[in-house]
Amino acid sequence: MLNDRARKLVPRVRIPPLPPFLQKMNKKPLITIITVCKNSERTIEKTIKSVINQKYQNIEYILIDGKSDDKTLTKIKKYKKKIKKIICEKDRGIYDAFNKGLKFAKGDLIGFVNSDDILVKNSLNILVKYFINYPEKDFFFGAVKKNWEIRYGYKPWKIYFMWGFYSSHSTGFFIKKKAAKKLGNYNLKYKYSADYDYFYRMIVHHKFKGIGTKKNELFGIFKSGGYSSRINFFDHLCECTRIRIDNKQNKLIVLITFIMKFLYNLKKI
């Protein structure tokens, strides 16, 4: 061992801190997953298992139940040790439940997995790879299997005309906490399509930057028959039109888009 005299002669070496980009690469971001449900006893366990059995484990799981009157809550409680927060109370609909989840979210990234849908096992590892490789991006869209096809990519210009600019809200969409705080809540003025308004504000007004994964980089499986599948076409079209007008889109473009979509749907009927 060195005596005091020898120790004084040995130069002290100061190890500099890692540069910010390397610190970020060395960090495992906390990912908040929010699941909202009501009377989902047939599907809720599959959803929960798909989240808690992820290969990536730095997860904060929040579950919002809209006061189910079936066995949903009983099934949720089986996994309560794996769930950070469980809220069971009446709400004003799915978007009100989303907002409750956002209120408690502490993750570096925040995403939603609805009670009919599932995350594939490696999805969050893929998400973290994009989080590290694209630090300038505010949000991420992962590929999602819907029915018999895989939807993937991100085409922001399409938001002015249609829904098909991204893969999916549930299982496919993750946003950085800082961006989510700036963006605010889902607007409860809209009953069917508040997520469309959320994305419109995110992309058009705030000009947040996003990226979509490749087709083979699958985040989740979206099950048809959920809330979005039960919305009447005309109600959905009218509300989307109202959202565009409220967000001050050119009214002539809104009118042309409305007519084209309406006529296209008549042709399908």
Looking at residue 74, the DSSP 8-state letter turns out to be H
Looking at residue 58, the DSSP 8-state letter turns out to be -
CB 107 within 8 A of CB 30: yes
Instruction: For residue 263, give both structure tokens.
Output: 């006529």
Pairwise CA distance, residues 216 & 152, whole Å: 9
CB 225 within 8 A of CB 146: no
**pLDDT at 253 > cutoff 90:** no
Q: pLDDT tens digit string along 185-197?
A: 999 999 999 999 9
**pLDDT at 9 > cutoff 60:** no
Q: Is residue 127 classed as helix, strand or coil in its secondary structure?
A: helix
Instruction: For residue 137, give both structure tokens.
Output: 């991006």
Mean pLDDT, residues 166-170 taken together: 94
**pLDDT at 82 > cutoff 90:** yes
Mean pLDDT, residues 52-62 taken together: 97
Strands 173-176 and 109-112: antiparallel
Q: Which CATH class is domain 29-231?
A: alpha beta
**pLDDT at 18 > cutoff 50:** no
CB 180 within 8 A of CB 110: yes
Residue 55: phi, psi to the nearest 5?
A: -65, -35
What pLDDT band is residue 25 in, cutting at 50, 70 and 90? very low
